[in-house]
Amino acid sequence: MPRRDLTRRAFLKRVGWTSAGATTLLVGARPGRAASATSPYPDWIPASPKAPKRGGVLTRASAWDPPVLDPRLTQSVGLFQFAGLTSSRLIRYAFPDEATGTTDLTLKGDLAESWQSSTDNRVWTFKLRQGVKWQSVPPLNGRELTAADVKYCFEAYAKEGVQSFAFREIEGMETPDKYTLRVHLHTPNVLFPQNVAESVTVIFSREVLEEDGDLKKRLIGTGPYILKEHTRKVRVVLQRNPDYYDKGRPYVDEYVILSTPDAATRLAAFRTGQSDMIALASLSEVETVRKTNPAAVVQAYKNVLTPFGLALAQDKPPFNDVRVRRAISMAIDRQKQVDTVYEGHGILGWGVPYIYYQDTMPTASQLGPWWQYRPSEAKKLLTEAGHPNGFETTLFYYEYFPQMTSQVQLIQQELKKNLNINIKITKLDYTTYYGRYVEGKWDGMSWGFQSGHAVGLDERTYQYMHSKSTKNFFRVNDPLIDELTVKLRQTPDRAEQAKIAKRIVDREYDQVLRMWMPYDNGFLVLQPHVRNGGALAIRRTDAYGSPTIARLWLDK
């Protein structure tokens, strides 16, 4: 059976593992010892010195399914694991084969060749690349992209959806000529180029939105790949765009993403050669893979933040009381999670990438008193808040990786033991979880996230923490945070930006506005024939860093 015709059913059959058998493989691989906190694998994979080869099919077993295809309505990794390949952005971050290291935050032109601001940083002018064509698919049929297309797209983002907050800051736009877009902002924002460089700010087509009324059925862009097939909960197939503006790229002819929610099946797929890359959360899983695939290439991620944490409905009792939030935080042993769930290879947890405000990874003491495990003090604080006998609440989550269930259960046990807080846990499928969480249709607790796409400092602070933001999933409502995040985006000096970012972080920890939990970015494992598939900090190749696939090639 040719790989390009591979269906999910045939894929599972070829893997040769039942769900039960694969689960045994996964669990059985775990050693009874805590692995070393030091990874034996590099955190940086430099670009291959070889000349790239054209052709082949890249296949990946994926944990995620896109909730919708419309990039206005979701920031889900389920969509952006491939939307960044069908569609371009005005600006982008450096690709791994261009970068100097995992934390290289250099901005590069994508649809825009150059950009500059006015002296007050309120007007940004973008000069577009000439001759860029929309994909040769009806109703676009390969027509040229113009500045009017980008203007229309930004206006549509501002009208509705999860990204509307970012684009509502635009006061107006003009197109002096076919290839120039001038953006006027309501207030100064020195970080605006970072915002339009985020992986979720893809440029979609006017024709599709006007014909269909939404973008839920078709995704047509100017990117390196054309969406050939999207069968919900089965697979996504991308085909090389022969008219892509970056001539010669992409190198791989076809990219197949198979919907595989079961982690053990994804692991078995990689081991049997049916998947070309896999992300693993623990050293023991990597060791298991290398027993059967000793030539596999392994990259250890450089942790710069935690994407997951305990989200509380802090706009309602009892979580609107800072004493309750602090008590809960002190009743959780984060180091225990690092040592057990993540086998000693992980971080205690913080939400803003530390690379923006200090040179080295934060220590436990720098995370403040409420991040420390002090159950007796936590009990006193909860009693002081009026809950001497604890209370009952709920928590829902989606299992992004198997270790997450263990982590959630540990927290449940510790809050019961230390504070007599009884938590009823509900595990949901990805689409249900994502919708309920981002739409705020929940009380009590949830296993929250800040979207993993965000690289820029403004996105990680103002967009996620300002009280009026549509991306403020943790329900942060703090006047000082609002003030500081606005000040940050109006401060051009990098050293001053770092000071303000640190003040934001310190305030977040002190008020326990977002209760981050330990995390390990884990490991990206590639088949030995995959070249230039390495990941950057926050931008994993199989996830929001999907545009990397355009420069990846198969050495077969």
473 and 486 assigned to the same domain? yes
Amino acid at 191: L
480 and 546 assigned to the same domain? no
Closest CA to 77 of 408, 541, 406: 541
CA distance 435 to 409: 23
232 and 361 assigned to the same domain? no
pLDDT in single tens digits along all 556 residues of the chain = 334 444 445 534 444 433 333 333 333 333 333 333 578 999 999 999 999 999 999 999 999 998 889 999 999 999 999 999 999 999 999 999 999 999 999 999 999 999 999 999 999 999 999 999 999 999 999 999 999 999 999 999 999 998 899 999 999 999 999 999 999 999 999 999 999 999 999 999 999 999 999 998 899 999 999 999 999 999 999 999 999 999 999 999 999 999 999 999 999 999 999 999 999 988 999 999 999 999 999 999 888 999 999 999 999 999 999 999 999 999 999 999 999 999 888 899 999 999 999 999 999 999 999 999 999 999 999 999 999 999 999 999 999 988 999 999 999 999 999 999 999 999 999 889 989 999 999 999 999 998 878 899 999 999 999 999 989 999 999 999 999 999 999 999 999 999 999 999 999 999 999 999 999 878 999 999 999 999 998 889 999 999 999 999 999 9
152 and 273 assigned to the same domain? no
Predicted local confidence at residue 354, as pLDDT: 95
User: Structure tokens of 477?
Assistant: 């409502």
Domain of residue 492, CATH code? 3.10.105.10
CB distance 82 to 236 below 8 Å = yes
Predicted local confidence at residue 203, as pLDDT: 98
- 394 DSSP β-pair partners: 424
Predicted local confidence at residue 18, as pLDDT: 35
CA distance 514 to 408: 16
DSSP 106-160: -EEESSEEEEEE-TTSSEEEEEEPTT-B--S-TTTTTPBP-HHHHHHHHHHHHHS
Q: How many domains is the chain built from?
A: 3
Helices 263-271 and 283-292, interaxial angle, to 10°?
Answer: 30
User: Structure tokens of 159?
Assistant: 């009208």
DSSP 425-486: EEE--HHHHHHHHHTT---SEEEEE--TT--SHHIIIIIHHSTT-TT-TT----HHHHHHHH
CB distance 270 to 277 below 8 Å = yes
Tens of pLDDT, residue by residue over 213-256, are 999 889 999 999 999 999 999 999 999 999 999 999 999 999 99
Give the end of a domain, one of 223, 252, 274: 223
Tens of pLDDT, residue by residue over 184-208, are 999 999 999 999 999 999 999 999 9
CB distance 61 to 260 below 8 Å = yes
DSSP 341-397: TTTT-SB---SS-GGGT-SSPPPTGGG-GGGS--HHHHHHHHHHTT-TT--EEEEEE
Predicted local confidence at residue 450, as pLDDT: 86
CA distance 168 to 492: 21
283 and 207 assigned to the same domain? no
492 and 354 assigned to the same domain? yes
CA distance 535 to 523: 10
Predicted local confidence at residue 37, as pLDDT: 53
298 and 425 assigned to the same domain? no
Residue 408: which domain range? 308-516
Q: How far is CA 293 from CA 244, 527, 544, in A?
A: 35, 8, 26
CA distance 170 to 158: 8
329 and 464 assigned to the same domain? yes
Predicted local confidence at residue 301, as pLDDT: 86
Q: How far is CA 514 from CA 445, 487, 499, in A?
A: 12, 21, 20
Domain of residue 273, CATH code? 3.40.190.10
- 57 DSSP β-pair partners: 254
Give the end of a domain, one of 171, 206, 223: 223
Give the end of a domain, one of 192, 208, 223: 223
252 and 295 assigned to the same domain? yes
CB distance 525 to 297 below 8 Å = yes
283 and 295 assigned to the same domain? yes
364 and 494 assigned to the same domain? yes
Closest CA to 84 of 209, 194, 225, 191: 225
Domain of residue 172, CATH code? 3.90.76.10
Predicted TM-score (pTM) above 0.75: yes
| Cα dihedral sign, 419-309-304-347 | positive
315 and 298 assigned to the same domain? no
